[in-house]
């Protein structure tokens, strides 16, 4: 039963990664890494497909080996945070417009504190 839950969580994570590839306010690689983690516990074949993927495989391996995030990934996250802050400033009422700022400071600070790989 647990294996099936990990398998479903892996596919949900991949779905969220696809959404993240289309929306600037949602991450992609984080959900692919989570999917790989879930597939490692449910389907080694699907995990291997993610690890062998030319785009996401190196990111997953860097994260697993050193907890590293590439410079390109950090810059992409920062740009996504900037877009989120701009959208929040335009469309969200006060004080909700500060939520993207708080997220950018906390999560963005954590992202930039990770080693580069």
Assessment of whether the complete model's pTM goes beyond 0.95: no
Q: Say yes or no to pLDDT of 117 above 90.
A: no
Tell me what the mean pLDDT of segment 91-100 comes to: 92
What is the per-residue pLDDT across 19-35, written as a single tens digit (0 to 9) for each?
Answer: 988 876 677 878 898 99
Domain residue ranges in the chain: 2-66, 71-113
What value does the mean pLDDT take over residues 106-111? 91
The closest alpha carbon to 49, from 105, 87, 11, 21, belongs to 11
Q: How far apart are CA 102 and CA 105, in angstroms?
A: 5
For 116, the enclosing helix (H) or strand (E) is: none
């Amino acid at each position: 039963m647990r294996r099936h839950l990990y398998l479903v969580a892996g596919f949900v994570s991949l779905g969220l990664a696809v959404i993240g590839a289309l929306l600037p306010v949602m991450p992609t690689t984080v959900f692919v890494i989570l999917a790989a983690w879930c597939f490692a516990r449910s389907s080694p074949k699907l995990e291997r497909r993610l690890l062998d993927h030319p785009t996401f495989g190196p990111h997953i391996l860097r994260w697993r080996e050193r907890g590293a995030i590439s410079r390109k990934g950090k810059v992409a996250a920062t740009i996504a945070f900037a877009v989120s802050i701009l959208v929040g400033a335009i469309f969200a009422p006060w004080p909700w417009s500060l939520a993207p700022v708080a997220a950018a400071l906390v999560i963005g600070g954590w992202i930039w504190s990770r080693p580069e790989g």
